[in-house]
Amino acid sequence: MVRLLGSIMLTKRGFTFHSLISAKLYPRFWNVIDVTKHRNQIMQNIKHSCLLVVLMLLSACASNVVVNGDIPKPLMQQLPLTAKLNFSEEFLNYTYVEQDKKRVIKSLDFGQAQVELFRVVFGSAFRLSEGNTTASDIEITPKVLSIQYSAPRETALNIYEVFVKYRITISDANQQKLADWVIKGYGKTPTAFLKGADAAFNAATNVALRDVGAQISIGLPLQASIKALTLAKSFNRDGVSTLPTTSPTSFALPSTASEAEVKAARVKALKAALKGAIRAEGQE
Amino acid sequence: MSLDVIAKFRSLIFMISAISVGACTTVSVDHVQLANRIDIAKGESIVILGRHHSAEFETEPSLVSCVGDRVQNGATKVSIIPEKEFTDGFYPYFESRIAPLKIDRLKDIFSVPLVKQKLQTLDLRYMIWIEGSTERTGSAGSMSCTIAPNGAACFGFGTLEDTSDYEAIIWDVQNYKEVARVSTEAIGTSYIPAFVIPLPLLARVQANACQGMGTQLVEFFEGESTGLKVRPQ
């Protein structure tokens, strides 16, 4: 409502943004003077005023936003698998840099927040293997595919929005790809309860990351390859699945069977379970 | 009479008339009770959650916490679980994409063993979903501002009209039934006269909608009129 657009008028006390009110109607108020007589004073006033305007405009903008992660631990049953998280350097330090100078933010740094997200979510789903020496059943590699955002001044909506897209590649211990999963997270937050654009983008990005975490938590145990691996891993030495939720499944082995025989039987059961899971998913 | 005195007199009249008009809000509250009684025992708890699934609106967390405070203050035997504490505790089941829109889906979520186990520690009886938002529905007038090293000044007059439209749906989570609905609509106009200094007379539309909704919810849980009145602010 406050209109700062319009003609700029030079006065003895500075310069004036003038929109609707005519100086001719209010000569005493606007105090219009001859520019040539007070040139130095006016130039100084212009400099001060420009500085003030720039400071005001800068204070209204978000610049470099650093997202503080706020991801709770998901309420999910841990699967009997060991997972290793592979974060690339680019992923660990991911910062979206805005190329368009007219847009609201210069950069959005959420590398730390997304690493926390994947650690919390996959840490609840699996036992995480630390370091390079520990063996793991699966390896998980997340990658940022794209990020988009919008601010109220761009959309005329009263909300800040963040949209983030990830590709999550899951491979087994032999680097065989098991799943390639694209997940999109969307977060929005109203402007009313937030004081600045920085806080709004921080909140909206957190909502988007929570959305990604929610989809992983719900969808991961339903992935065919994860189901099959979980089932295969759940067979104990006696060939009986220890999973509480799966139907009784077993492979017969004599009690004198060697470790190698148990391992071979596990691989066989894994292949059968994989086939069954893929077939079941196809039927769904 | 000099021009200065006339100008001062005019500005005084302008200020007095602006203040006397004041900001006003009209609130209307409708409710439907679908169960004969909405019982709650001492120690049982309620959670109030905002709907965030729609792209068209975003239920403000400030409104949800305001209604929660209002119910907590009005209904003494009710214990309110804060929205963030609940959604974090049951993450990811109450995130915008996954949260149940129908009560049958809530039954499915509450049958998940880990959720069921956590639920037993809370003694949760009712879940209240609030849907809606406060939007600017109109504005008029204009204002000019002057910025100078010696100071700043504004001149003009503007009005803003805000509308709050919220609906609260109460679910009985023990019997898996919807027991009541409360709709609140508040319309308010704010006035911003400015003569050197802007003097905003803001209508607290969302706060009044919160009061109206909170008062009605308190009446549900207390079982009778509590004497709490909606006071326009």
* pLDDT-based confidence at residue A92 (cuts at 50, 70, 90): very high
Structural domains in chain A (count): 3
A191 CB within 8 Å of a chain B CB? no
**Do both A244 and A127 map to the same domain?**
no
**Do both A134 and A168 map to the same domain?**
yes
ipTM tops 0.85: no
Which tokens is A204 given?
A: 């909206």
Q: Does A68 fall in a domain?
A: yes
CB B27 within 8 A of CB B185: yes
Which of B58, B86, B116 to mutate: most A Cβ within 10 Å?
Answer: B58
**Do both A96 and A214 map to the same domain?**
yes
How far apart (Å, rounded) are the C-alpha atoms in residues A201 and A106?
Answer: 12
**Do both A132 and A205 map to the same domain?**
yes
**Do both A210 and A234 map to the same domain?**
no
pLDDT at residue A165 in the model = 97
Angle, vertex CA B91, rays to CA B87 and CA B94, nearest 5: 55
Residues of A whose CB is below 8 A from B154: 2
Which tokens is B115 given?
A: 């959720």
Q: What are the tens digits of pLDDT across the range A7-24?
A: 344 444 444 444 333 334
CB-CB under 8 Å, B143 with A1: yes
pLDDT at residue B91 in the model = 94
CB-CB under 8 Å, B62 with A193: yes
CB B49 within 8 A of CB B64: yes
pLDDT at residue B92 in the model = 93
Place of tokens 């100008």: B7
Which of A8, A13, A73, A75 to mutate: most B Cβ within 10 Å?
Answer: A75
Q: What are the tens digits of pLDDT across the range A197-236?
A: 888 899 999 999 999 999 999 999 888 888 888 877 776 6
Average pLDDT score over chain B? 86
Place of tokens 């200065």: B4
CATH of B3-222, one of 3.40.50, 3.30.750, 1.10.3470, 3.30.70: 3.40.50
**Do both A115 and A217 map to the same domain?**
yes
CB-CB under 8 Å, B160 with A72: no
**Do both A41 and A123 map to the same domain?**
no
**Do both A195 and A278 map to the same domain?**
no
How far apart (Å, rounded) are the C-alpha atoms in residues A155 and A65?
Answer: 20
Domain around A276: 226-283
How far apart (Å, rounded) are the C-alpha atoms in residues A44 and A64?
Answer: 32
pLDDT tens for chain B, 233 residues: list them.
Answer: 566 777 777 767 766 665 555 578 899 999 998 888 888 888 889 999 999 888 777 898 899 999 999 999 988 878 999 999 999 999 999 999 899 999 999 999 999 999 999 999 988 999 999 999 998 899 999 988 888 877 888 999 999 999 999 999 999 999 999 999 999 999 999 999 998 888 888 899 999 999 999 999 999 888 754 444 444 44
Distances (CA, A) of B231 to A95, B56, B191: 48, 30, 19
Q: Does A212 fall in a domain?
A: yes
Delimit the domains of chain B by residue range.
3-222
How far apart (Å, rounded) are the C-alpha atoms in residues A132 and A40?
Answer: 70
A159 CB within 8 Å of a chain B CB? yes
Q: Does A1 fall in a domain?
A: no
CB-CB under 8 Å, A207 with B118: no
Which tokens is B157 given?
A: 């007059």
**Do both A86 and A217 map to the same domain?**
yes
**Do both A193 and A247 map to the same domain?**
no
CB atoms within 10 A of CB B172: 19
* Mean per-residue pLDDT, A114-122: 95
Q: What are the tens digits of pLDDT across the range B196-217?
A: 888 888 899 999 999 999 999 9
